[in-house]
Amino acid sequence: MNWLRVPIKKVADVESGFGFPRDCQGIMDAEIPFYKVGDMNLPGNESEMIVTANTISREVMRKLRARAFPAGAVIFPKIGAAIATNKKRILTKPSVVDNNVMAMIPKDGIEPWYLFYWMQQFDLRTVSNIGPVPSMRKSEVQEVEMPLPTVTEQRRIIDILKQADALRKQRIEVNGKSERIQSALFYKMFGDPATNSQKWPVKAFDEVFADRTAQFPKLQRSQYQEVGEFPVVDQGKELVAGFSDDEEFVVRIKHPVVVFGDHTRIVKYIDFDFIAGADGSRVFFTKKDFSPAFMATQLQILPIPNLGYSRHMREVKRLQFIAPPISLQNVYAKISDRIRPLQDSQVRATSDVDRIWRVLLRAAFAGNLTAKWRKSQMKALLQEMENQARALGCK
């Protein structure tokens, strides 16, 4: 059975957000959430937009000539480097979004969660204009074609994917708990580096790190492979984001290094030869009398202001790092080395689950995920497809 393929404008209204003046920001007790691109990174907003840093009243909304998009609208970045993050979220209540965000508002005939899951496997970069500042045009997004099974089959797909997504999120939660073990050990031995209650000597960034990013040629995301000889490490959440067989990009390291996500603020301790992936991953070597394991955890713990998808190196260079004796740092590193294999296995398990998730998404929208179920429902589905095509004005 071949599903209808329709342009997005047939099943969803595509709208841009609204300007959000600085003097209207920071209000938390108004009735309507106001989301910016950076809010997609807030803990709790991994799929559904629940947590907000700004709200807006209906009176201010009228002054700004803004309007709220309904619950079920799917939102994503529409301008700048944030497009490359491919973040998509679904609104849980009527909300206003800023003018760096685009929204798809489902019409009758498409389930919001079906649209959301289909967007998870759609690459925003395929409709972005290449230039100094990438951007997307509403007119181009509207013409993107997507598969449209009947509402009954959409709901079946949603049920299967929601169950799989719940398992994926549980895996991520377990991974997060194991990551906190390192931080707990650090706090116990050295206290909070942000307050330095134990009065350790402090050092500036350039006294503890050497930024060697320029020595690492970058492999673009489009060149990542799912399997390959050499691991690719970038600024994303996964320890290993992909693989490559291109030895020219490999940098052999004699000592562990720290990889910092300039856009994401994610910190990774790397003790194996790797390929640096995509723009935004920065590679730091530690200087004499500083343990890489100790410094990686400290950089992870220290508060770095969230600038959204802007670069964060200027904030990192303003940090003050505690500098206990190297002998004590090495004690921490030795214990940390015993914990790290557990964490690495958790990260690998999470990566495996993510790969399975991507396979499920491809199968869902190729029709394979529900093929057996569809066969048992064929007669009713054919009638529903005919009614659907008539309603959409399709053959």
- 326 found inside a domain: yes
In a domain, 199, yes or no: yes
pLDDT of residue 395: 56
Residues 219, 335, single domain; the answer is yes
Q: Does 207 share its domain with 282? A: yes
Residues 210 and 249 in one domain: yes
Considering the domain architecture, whether residues 83 and 210 belong to the same structural domain is answered as no
- Which residue in 357, 355, 351, 336 sits closest to 172, CA to CA? 351
Q: Establish if 371 belongs to a structural domain.
A: no
Q: What are phi and psi of 393, to 5 degrees?
A: 70, 30
Is 363 among the domain residues?
no
Show the DSSP H helices in 191-247 as ranges.
205-208
Most confident option among 123-132, 201-210, 375-384: 201-210
Contacts within 8 Å (CB) and 24+ apart, 43-48: 45/89, 46/169, 47/89, 47/90, 47/116, 47/165, 48/89, 48/90, 48/91, 48/92
My answer on whether 4 and 76 are in the same domain is yes
Same domain, 79 and 222: no
Residue 374 located in a structural domain? no
Which CATH number characterizes residue 342's domain?
A: 3.90.220.20
Residue 230 one-letter amino acid: F
Token pair in block for residue 95 = 């909300």
- For residue 140, tell me if it sits in a domain: yes
User: Does one domain contain both 144 and 171?
Assistant: no
92 and 187 assigned to the same domain = no
> HSE of 364 in the Cβ direction (CA atoms, 13 Å)?
28
The residue segments making up the domain with residue 64 are 1-148
Tell me the pLDDT tens digit for each residue of 276-301. Answer: 998 789 999 999 999 999 999 999 99
Computed over every residue of the chain, the mean pLDDT equals 90
Q: What is the pLDDT of residue 176?
A: 67
Q: Residue 202: is its pLDDT beyond 60? A: yes
Q: Identify the band that residue 243 occupies on the pLDDT scale cut at 50, 70 and 90.
A: very high
Q: Is residue 228 part of a domain?
A: yes
Shared domain check, 184 and 120: no
Domain annotation covers residue 182: yes
Could you list the beta-strand ranges (E) of 55-213.
Answer: 55-56, 74-77, 89-91, 96-97, 101-106, 128-129, 135-136, 145-148, 202-204, 209-211
The CA distance from 119 to 123, in Å, is 8
- Model-wide pTM > 0.75: no
Query: Alpha-carbon distance 358 to 274, whole Å?
Result: 24
Phi, psi of 5 (to 5 degrees): -120, 125
* Burial (0-12, 13-18, 19+ Cβ within 10 Å), 157: buried
| Tens of pLDDT, residues 325-371 | 999 999 999 998 888 777 777 767 777 777 788 888 999 998 888 88
**How many degrees, rounded to 5, is the angle at CA 154 between CA 148 and CA 157?**
120
Same domain? For 23 and 56 the reply is yes
pLDDT at 382 over 80: no
d(Cα 264, Cα 271) in Å, to the nearest integer?
21
Whether 80 and 136 map to the same domain: the answer is yes
Q: How many residues does the chain have?
A: 395
Q: Which H, E and C letters describe 341-377, residue by residue?
A: HHHHHHHHHHHHHHHHHHHHHHHHHHCCCCHHHHHHC
Q: Percent of the chain at pLDDT above 70?
A: 97
Degrees (nearest 5) of the Cα angle 321, 323, 328?
A: 135
Do 64 and 209 sit in the same domain of this protein?
no
Closest CA to 394 of 14, 112, 10: 10
Q: What does the pLDDT look like over 50-95, one tens digit per residue?
A: 999 899 999 999 999 999 999 999 999 999 888 888 999 999 999 9
Q: How many domains does the structure of the chain reveal?
A: 2
